[in-house]
């Protein structure tokens, strides 16, 4: 049992590794079927509460509209309205919300808050981003990659930049689905050791352990996917100037894309900063699938919620 795991028997989604490889495939199958209109899970009368301690565009809108499209309801609560851990302990918030709602999703400053919510909740708790992982993003990303290439196994995913929450979930997700994960980060910003160890374990003997590299050129060499994220995540605003200096040379540009496989795609979870982690125009570059990723947030989360609520089979 690690700090990031909840102890209740209720099924939670705090980490991408809370799903097995088979369950990820089932969620992605359902997500693509929802996207194409072949599947519309029915969660009529079920409701989701989204607790937000940080700003959001994609997460909030995709959860809210995704629930409505499946016939359910959703409600988003902003930090000043709930006061998680200030006005009321997370455990009490979870006990109360479990009496009103069928699913709780939370975007939190500290992953510990998610664990506290999950430990007291009688309904599934979904990680809508913590400082440690962003698993909903990675479900959408794996869906986008699989829809583009027709497979995930054997692909090489190169992440350029900070070994942050998005990189961590992507490393674990790649290990589970049999893709090779490489990350190039400046010294001091590497993927955390516990994530590397977990991804190595999940990949197993036949799979690929994450490769931690220094130079972006080495990471993207022949890669199928080039992925980047902001240099300063939410909550790291005071480090922004220092990080801008430290990450110089880690910008994804058309020149860097040329070192990847000619059929490679460019990915970013958004929001993005042109002139920092990406050069101008990268989001609309012909190789970009960034807006498919954003769209898939709605489909992948709908599939996940439907699975957690038993509205579709889990594998
Ligand atoms: N990618 C993502 O999670 O976007 P938001 O922060 O806007 O929700
Ligand atoms: N790493 C970013 C992701 C935003 C969706 C952050 O945590 O701010």
Q: In what order do the strands lie in the sheet with 125-127?
A: 73-77, 47-52, 103-107, 125-127
d(CA 247, CA 308): 39
Tell the residue number behind the tokens 């795991």, with chain if given.
Answer: 5
C-alpha 205 to ligand 1 mean position (Å): 34
Atom of ligand 2 nearest to the CA of 236: 8
CB of 103 within 8 A of CB of 123?
A: yes
What's the average model confidence in pLDDT over 187-204? Answer: 97
The two tokens of residue 255 are 């020149």
- The number of residues making up the chain comes to 315
Candidate of 16, 55, 56 to mutate for ligand 1, largest count of ligand atoms within 8 Å of Cβ: 56
| Distances in whole angstroms, Cα of residue 136 to Cα of each of 103, 153, 205, 286 | 14, 20, 27, 25
Q: Which pLDDT belongs to residue 2?
A: 44
Please calculate the CA angle 207-12-45 and round it to the nearest 5 degrees: 130
Q: Which pLDDT belongs to residue 1?
A: 38
d(CA 304, CA 301): 5
Q: What is the pLDDT of residues 265-285, one digit of tens each?
A: 999 999 999 999 999 999 999
What's the average model confidence in pLDDT over 20-48? Answer: 97
What's the average model confidence in pLDDT over 20-46? Answer: 97
d(CA 58, CA 60): 6
Q: Which pLDDT belongs to residue 30?
A: 97
The two tokens of residue 132 are 């440690």
User: pTM, whole model, 2 decimals?
Assistant: 0.96
Q: Which pLDDT belongs to residue 6?
A: 60
Average pLDDT score, the chain:
95
Q: How many Cβ atoms sit within 10 Å of the Cβ of residue 6?
A: 20
C-alpha 249 to ligand 1 mean position (Å): 25
């Amino acid at each position: 049992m690690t700090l990031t795991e909840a102890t209740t028997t209720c099924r939670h989604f705090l980490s991408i590794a809370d799903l097995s490889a088979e369950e990820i495939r089932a969620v992605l199958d359902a997500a693509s079927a929802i996207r194409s209109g072949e599947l519309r899970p029915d969660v009529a009368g079920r409701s989701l509460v989204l607790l937000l301690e940080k700003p959001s565009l994609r997460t909030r809108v995709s959860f809210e509209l995704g629930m409505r499209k499946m016939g359910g309801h959703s409600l988003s609560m902003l930090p000043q309205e709930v006061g998680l851990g200030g006005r009321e302990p997370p455990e009490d918030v979870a006990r109360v919300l479990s009496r009103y709602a069928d699913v709780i999703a939370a975007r939190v400053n500290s992953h510990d808050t998610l664990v506290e919510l999950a430990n007291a909740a009688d309904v599934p708790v979904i990680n809508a981003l913590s400082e440690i992982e962003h698993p909903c993003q990675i479900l959408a990303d794996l869906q986008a990659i699989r829809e583009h290439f027709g497979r995930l196994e054997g692909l090489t995913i190169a992440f350029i930049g900070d070994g942050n929450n998005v990189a961590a979930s992507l490393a674990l997700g790649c290990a589970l689905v049999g893709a090779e994960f490489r990350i190039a980060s400046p010294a001091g910003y590497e993927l955390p050791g516990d994530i590397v160890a977990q991804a190595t374990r999940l990949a197993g003997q036949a799979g690929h352990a994450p490769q931690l590299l220094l130079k972006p050129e080495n990471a993207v060499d022949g890669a199928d996917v080039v992925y980047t994220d902001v240099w300063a995540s939410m909550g790291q605003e005071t480090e922004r100037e220092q990080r801008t200096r430290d990450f110089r040379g880690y910008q994804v540009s058309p020149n860097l894309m040329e070192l990847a496989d000619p059929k490679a795609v460019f990915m970013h979870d958004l929001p993005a900063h042109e002139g920092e982690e990406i050069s101008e125009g990268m989001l609309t570059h012909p190789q970009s699938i960034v807006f498919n990723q954003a769209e898939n947030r709605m489909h992948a989360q709908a599939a996940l919620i439907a699975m957690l609520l038993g509205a579709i089979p889990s594998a």
